[in-house]
Structure 1
Amino acid sequence: MKKYAVNWPIRPFGIYTVLVRAANPTDAVRVAAERELSTIDGFSIAFDYEPEVWRLCRLRNRLSQHVAGPFFDDAVPGWVPFTPMPLGTDA
């Protein structure tokens, strides 16, 4: 089992991160969706949008890798905030 971080878009804005152990990125999204996820009042997790998945690596010579989904780059100051993508799009 590998370690993954699944970042779900939340409404009205933001990202909710779930750490899971799974066999692959698809399994990581399934495991994260089955967890009981809670958010602050007034916010809801956008399960109808594609999550971002990162493979977490702790080795000296390897960094964590983006492995699936859109790249939510709003965590970097000065970058344009992410735009969630509805499931089933080819973009």
Structure 2
Amino acid sequence: MPAYSVTYPTRPNGVYSQYVNAADPADAVRAAAELDWPTNPGYSVAFDCEPEVWILLRPYRLRSRHVQGPRYTGTSPDEVGHTTH
């Protein structure tokens, strides 16, 4: 199965990624949701926002590609530009 990166924004700011093996992007989001998301004290993962998903293909820098969701840049999930469910 391919490897995927699933990224959610965190509150009050930032992003956090999990890496999973999955059959497709939707399966990657499901698998990532079941994992423990360790965050720094005072931060929480914004699961109410749509995740950013990348398929990871070697060599990563040349072949990996964005396959689903917005592109997060480390801004607050409450700012304009983030897509919520």
Residues paired across the two proteins, number: 80
Q: Which amino acid aligns with 2:2?
A: K
TM-score with structure 2 setting the length: 0.85
After TM superposition, which residue ranges in structure 1, 4 or more long, deviate above 2 angstroms? 81-84
Structure 2 unaligned segments of length 5 or more: list them.
none
User: Displacement, 1:38?
Assistant: 1.2
The normalised TM-score by structure 1 is 0.79
Rounded to whole Å, the distance in 2 between the matches of 1:86 and 1:68 is: 13
Larger radius of gyration between Structure 1 and Structure 2: 1
Q: Percent identity?
A: 46
1:35-62, Cα deviation, whole Å (9 max, x unpaired): 01110001000011100000001048x5
* SS of 1:29 mapped into structure 2: helix
2:17 corresponds to 1:17: yes
Matched residues in 1 for 2:42 and 2:16: separation?
14
Structural mapping, 1:1-91, within 5 Å:
1-59=1-59, 62-72=62-72, 74=73, 83-87=81-85
